[in-house]
Structure 1
């Protein structure tokens, strides 16, 4: 099947370059372009693409807002591949929370762009080692901010809302040793088997299914099954968000 792609960027030259690269690959077709987020949202409805290559910084409706709207209105299809230069790490984290399925540096090679589109089109998530490091840094920074003392330190903490529950600080020790941690292990995390926990830890390191299979001495089909169960039990959209979850909940520590 042909992968239908919508290219979104406020620079016509960039859109043209992406179109040329993607249209040169058999099995990929650029079905449209958009110069801002509002046009992207409309184009998704009109053109029904499989993948949206989304810029972040654009006039009017930015890529983050557009990603959030597209995911909210259309679910997992189209998959949104964010193209970023990492000028703003907070943009990266916001895009993750908005539901983006992959990230790619704008200085990546044409082959990497083609591969990224193919990866997210088949329902997988793409998170390169460089991006993983940025996610880890952002998660660590959020955790550090959340643990800063406040003037109301003596006040009992309130129950976290649904919108802020994911920003809870990571514990000082891995969650598997949470018996000595003041914060209890989230029920969904405690429901993982030991092998599923190992898979989550390796996902957090940015390991591919093949690398996880080699590390655990199992087949890739078995790894796919474990990954699916981890995502299901934790209520996560894809392996990109599994990385964020792992660092925010202390499964793996930044710098470990």
Structure 2
């Protein structure tokens, strides 16, 4: 059994910070930091993803122990999501959708090297093209494309699901899901699942 994931919370409102920690109470896999412990994951709770928040994400990720970051925001659209991921956020959640289990799931996914992003937000980003995108990235993305099966698997990866859970959700075999992820990472020359999700979010957009 692995050690619990150590979590810290950053919020401007002390009551909100305490409430976020309270939401994680009862999950044996997650434990708030105490004393001088260094967190594995830091949850940042904000209203809007403005430049000061992006600076905070950069500073948090640049700390010596380099914790993963899960961002919980009241307002979170495609542009804000892209900027947050580009500055190091591993997980994204909207405050209105953030329950204790969902937050714990995002924290554990981040600690395990996966991205957790609202599926509807990822779905929208998969379809978008921003003006002024990097031509090399945009062209390779458009030429290769994604099948509906690949999109479905990546949406669930982005939401933090493990391979077996994705297989159950989509009624595929574990081997099929593994093959789909392997094909995507090979086609776009990516390192792993987290890199695949991050690439999907950035391709043609940044």
Structure 1 unaligned runs (5+)? 33-42, 148-159, 178-195, 250-256
User: 1:6·1:53 contact (CA, 8 Å) conserved in 2?
Assistant: yes
User: For 1:6 and 1:102, how far apart are their aligned partners in 2?
Assistant: 14
Instruction: Give 1:175's aligned residue.
Output: 143
Structure 1 residues 206 and 26 mapped into 2: Cα distance closer, same or farther (>3 Å)? closer
Q: CA RMSD in A?
A: 4.0
1:146 alignment partner, one of 129, 132, 137:
132
The change in CA–CA distance for 1:70 and 1:47 in structure 2 (over 3 A counts) is: same
Measured in 2, the distance between the counterparts of 1:121 and 1:70 equals: 15
Query: CA offset at residue 170 of structure 1?
Result: 8.2
| Deviation of the 1:67 alpha carbon | 2.1
Superposed, which structure 2 residues align to 1:58-137 within 5 Å? 62-72=52-62, 77-87=66-76, 89-107=78-96, 108-133=98-123, 135-136=125-126
Identify which of structures 1 and 2 has the higher relative contact order when contacts are C-alpha pairs closer than 8 Å and 6+ apart.
Answer: 2
Counterpart of 1:54 (choices 44, 48, 54) is 44
Task: Identify the match of residue 227 of structure 1 among 177, 181, 206.
Answer: 181
Largest Rg, 1 or 2: 1
Q: Deviations over 1:83-105 (max 9, x none)?
A: 01235542211011112111111
Contact 1:2 1:29 in 2 (8 A): yes
Q: TM-score, normalised by structure 1?
A: 0.58
Deviations 1:145-181 (A, max 9, x none): 228xxxxxxxxxxxx6xxx965x4787xx4138xxxx
For the residues of structure 2 that align with 1:170 and 1:229, how far apart are their CA atoms? 15
CA-CA distance at 1:53 after TM superposition? 0.5
Q: Residue 55 of structure 1 contacts residue 63 of structure 1 at CA under 8 Å; is this kept in 2?
A: no
TM-score scaled to structure 2, two decimals?
A: 0.69
| Cα displacement (A) at 1:116 | 1.8
Tell me how far apart the structure 1 counterparts of residues 185 and 64 of structure 2 sit (CA, whole Å).
20
